[in-house]
Amino acid sequence: MKIVVIGGTGLIGSKLVKKLRDEGQEVVAAAPATGVNSITGEGLAGALKGASVSIDVTNSPSWEDTAVMKFFETSTRHQLKYGAAAGVKHHIALSVVGTDRLLESGFFRAKLAQEDLVKASSIPYSIVRATQFFEFVKSIADLSTEGNKVRLPPVLIQPMAADDVASALAGIAIGSPVNGTVEIGGPEQFRLDELVRRDLVARKDPREVISDPHARYYGIEVSERTLVPNDDARLGETRFEDWLTQSAAQIPNQGVRRVGDSS
Ligand SMILES: NC(=O)c1ccc[n+]([C@@H]2O[C@H](COP(=O)([O-])OP(=O)(O)OC[C@H]3O[C@@H](n4cnc5c(N)ncnc54)[C@H](OP(=O)(O)O)[C@@H]3O)[C@@H](O)[C@H]2O)c1
């Protein structure tokens, strides 16, 4: 089975390409670096020729409202148009849990537009909504930083490892289209402020996390369960603490600290 991973050089894409190849699938990693551009359409027809499955794990280089909408609309339209012409039988799009609850943000309006285009296309599809990646926790801190303080609301979050996102997508790619939405998440729930505090402590990042019920997540007002998946979500296995230990150990000259360790 030929599978095309569009955005195949990114965080999720590169892991997904490797997993599918390890399983013996014929995989094309499609991205600008490999001559495939979903915005201009360049290389899409060639990459998708003879493909059974296309998987969209692209992301927009800019998250500014107009730019991100233009990216996801144009990129998705091109993938669906060239996919239909090539006879693709299953298109999979990676989206975000809670997208319809986060529409105050232009980024999530663009993700919803992407989902709507996929639903309206003639290609059978699966939309996979994932919770925040462990790898994204540091970016959440960066987006909420003022001076040396990170203000975050203590709402629930159920993040997952990028590796588990890729495994879930690989499983869905070799199955039948659900023609609907599947949610995936991590094995544990956290409070957002506590999660970010643990991440920063492990990285020896001196920023202080302030728990503030009025603080925004990514500029958006969120409530207790905005970020958590439904009860029927498929859950990854990797625990945050284990991932932190492993990833912090990979940063040179950086041991792992845990909340409560004395420095
Ligand atoms: N961050 C989270 O916590 C989270 C949670 C749930 C879902 N998601 C979704 O997961 C998806 C993938 O995220 P990621 O972190 O893996 O993204 P990423 O690391 O930024 O990778 C994006 C990929 O898209 C490619 N790309 C960009 N412009 C392209 C174009 N014009 N044509 C073809 N490919 C293009 C990139 O290629 P280059 O490297 O060459 O630019 C790269 O391969 C996103 O849609 C995001 O919304 C994210």
For tokens 């041991």, the residue is 255
Strands, sheet with 90-96, edge to edge from the N-terminal-most edge strand: 26-30, 2-6, 53-56, 90-96, 125-130, 181-185, 234-235
Q: Where are the alpha helices (DSSP H) in 95-227?
A: 106-120, 137-143, 162-173, 192-202
User: Which residue's alpha carbon is nearest to atom 44 within ligand 1?
Assistant: 59
Query: Of all atoms in ligand 1, which is nearest to the CA of residue 39?
Result: 31
What pLDDT is attached to residue 251? 62
**pLDDT of 252:** 53
4 φ, ψ to 5°?
A: -105, 125
- Which atom, in ligand 1's list, is nearest to the CA of 33? 40
For residue 213 the two structure tokens come to: 């019920």
Q: What is the residue with the minimal CA distance to atom 12 of ligand 1?
A: 57
**What is the DSSP-derived secondary structure letter of residue 160?**
B
Instruction: Give the mean pLDDT per block of 10 residues along the chain (263 residues).
Output: 98 98 98 98 98 98 97 98 98 98 97 98 98 97 96 98 98 98 98 98 96 94 97 98 88 49 41
d(CA 95, CA 93): 6
**Ligand 1 mean position, distance from CA 58 (Å):** 4
Q: What local confidence, expressed as pLDDT, does residue 151 receive?
A: 97
Residue 259 confidence (pLDDT):
46
Three-state DSSP class for residue 129: strand
Report residues whose beta carbon is within 6 angstroms of any ligand 1 atom: 6-7, 9-13, 31-33, 36-39, 57-59, 75, 94, 96, 111, 130, 132-133, 136
Residue nearest to atom 3 of ligand 1 (CA): 132
Pocket-testing residue among 58, 160, 196, ligand 1, by greatest number of atoms within 8 A of Cβ:
58
DSSP 121: S
Best mutation site among 44, 57, 218 for ligand 1 pocket (most ligand atoms within 8 Å of CB): 57
Indicate the DSSP class of residue 230.
Answer: P
Q: What is the DSSP string of 1-55?
A: -EEEEETTTSHHHHHHHHHHHHTT-EEEEESGGGT--TTT-TTHHHHHTT-SEEE
Find where tokens 């003639």 sit. 122
| Cα 121 to middle of ligand 1, angstroms | 21
Euclidean distance between CA atoms 203 and 160, whole angstroms: 18
Query: Ligand 1 atom 14: the closest Cα is on which residue?
Result: 11
Q: Which residue is associated with the tokens 């992407």?
A: 114
Kindly report the CA angle at 185 between 180 and 190, in degrees rounded to 5? 145
pLDDT for 263: 36
